[in-house]
Amino acid sequence: GAVVSQHPSRVICKSGTSVKIECRSLDFQATTMFWYRQFPKQSLMLMATSNEGSKATYEQGVEKDKFLINHASLTLSTLTVTSAHPEDSSFYICSARDQIAVAGVQETQYFGPGTRLLVL
C-alpha cells in the first residue's frame, strides 16, 4: 500500500529557531500534499494545501510567512516553522494524494505518522 513518511518523528528546539519537517510519498507520486496540526487531545486542523511546483494555499488564520511550505518534487513537501515559539508546539501531520486521479472519484489521502514538535 501507499506509504507516507515524515522526518523527523520528533524534534525539540529552542525558541526563535527554525525547524524543517519533511513529508515524503515513498511509493507513489503526489501532486498534492496537505499539512495539518493537531493540539493535544484535539482534532486535526488543516493548515495548507501544497501543490507541486506552485505556491501553497493556506487556510484562514495560518501565517504563510511563519509556516513555509515547499513542494519541489512529486514525492517531497517540506514545512518549515520559522522563529518557532512555545505556542507552535504541536503534532504536525502531512498527507499525500496519489497523482493518478480518476475524474469524479475521491482519491484516498495517505497520512504520514506525524512529527511532534516541542519548542522550549
Partner 1 sequence: AQSVTQLGSHVSVSEGALVLLRCNYSSSVPPYLFWYVQYPNQGLQLLLKYTSAATLVKGINGFEAEFKKSETSFHLTKPSAHMSDAAEYFCAVSDNRDDKIIFGKGTRLHILP
- Site residues (vs partner 1, CB under 8 A): 4, 6, 32, 34, 42-46, 49, 93, 95, 97, 104-109, 111-114, 116
Shortest separation between residue 21's beta carbon and partner 1, angstroms: 13
Shortest separation between residue 113's beta carbon and partner 1, angstroms: 4
Residue (6 or 75) nearer to partner 1, CB: 6
Shortest separation between residue 112's beta carbon and partner 1, angstroms: 5
Residue (81 or 94) nearer to partner 1, CB: 94
Could you give the residue ranges of the DSSP H alpha helices within 13-103? none
Could you give the residue ranges of the DSSP H alpha helices within 39-94? none
Q: Measure the CA–CA gap between 31 and 46, rounded to whole angstroms.
A: 17
Residue (74 or 82) nearer to partner 1, CB: 74
Q: Measure the CA–CA gap between 70 and 86, rounded to whole angstroms.
A: 23
